[in-house]
Amino acid sequence: MSTYPRTPYTLKCGIVMIDALTRRAGRVIVLQYTPDHLSRTLQVQSVGGDTGDRTEPLRFKGPPVETFRLEAEIDATDQLEFPDANKTAVEVGIFPQLAALEALVTPTSAQVDAADALMTQGAIEIAPMESPLALFVWSAQRVAPVRVTEFSVTEEAFDISLNPTRARVTLALRVLSVNDFGIDHPGAALYMSYLKNKEALALRAVAGSLDQLGVKGL
């Protein structure tokens, strides 16, 4: 990493866990290095679609299904150069960082125990275990509620105790909209803030003209 004093400070990206009831931030997972690439897909939710009702071709069923995909790198090499100041990295490598990310897709042991206790007691119906609300943060302009839909890890280097010291994590994150939450859910307000910020950014784009397109009479 450069130590040149004029190197600009770059913000990190990451995921913030939110309590859906209180809307308070809990664990903050900051990615060690900002990925070089972030891919996005938006699947349009139209009424007609390609084979649907052609009488309403311009109507939407709701916001598009938006998905982010990124590859994050985790590396303990720098920490291992200074073992006295980084005892966790020396003892267990990058296991803690990987475990924090895996918690996004894994129910807690307390939730599993509670569900098992209900089954043992003969409960007829057990509600599915619910994860905290996750916010994907990529600058102040992009803060969106998401659900992890794909998670894969490639561990690339290990210490003498076989603790991983370098890994690449691939994440696919589906943005959760009002269609997923329902308008009264706290997550819906977070999505609406994300949507309104997009609209505000669109207003800042320089508008073109019909002359530039060579079109007249519209």
Count Cα atoms within 13 angstroms, Cβ side, for 122: 0
Could you give the 3-state DSSP secondary structure of residue 41? Answer: strand
For residues 79 and 1, is the Cβ–Cβ distance under 8 A? no
171 by Cβ neighbours in 10 Å (0-12 / 13-18 / 19+) ranks as: buried
Which residues of the chain are under the pLDDT cut of 70? Answer: 1-8, 48-55
Distance CA 116, CA 125 (A): 12
Tokens encoding 47: 């009424």
How do the domains of the chain map onto residue ranges? 14-48+56-199
pLDDT at site 119: 82
Chain segment 124-134, per-residue pLDDT in tens: 777 777 778 99
Note the pTM of the prediction, 2 decimals: 0.85
For residues 15 and 29, is the Cβ–Cβ distance under 8 A? yes
Share of the chain above pLDDT 90, in %: 60
Chain segment 164-203, per-residue pLDDT in tens: 999 999 999 999 999 998 888 888 999 999 999 999 999 9
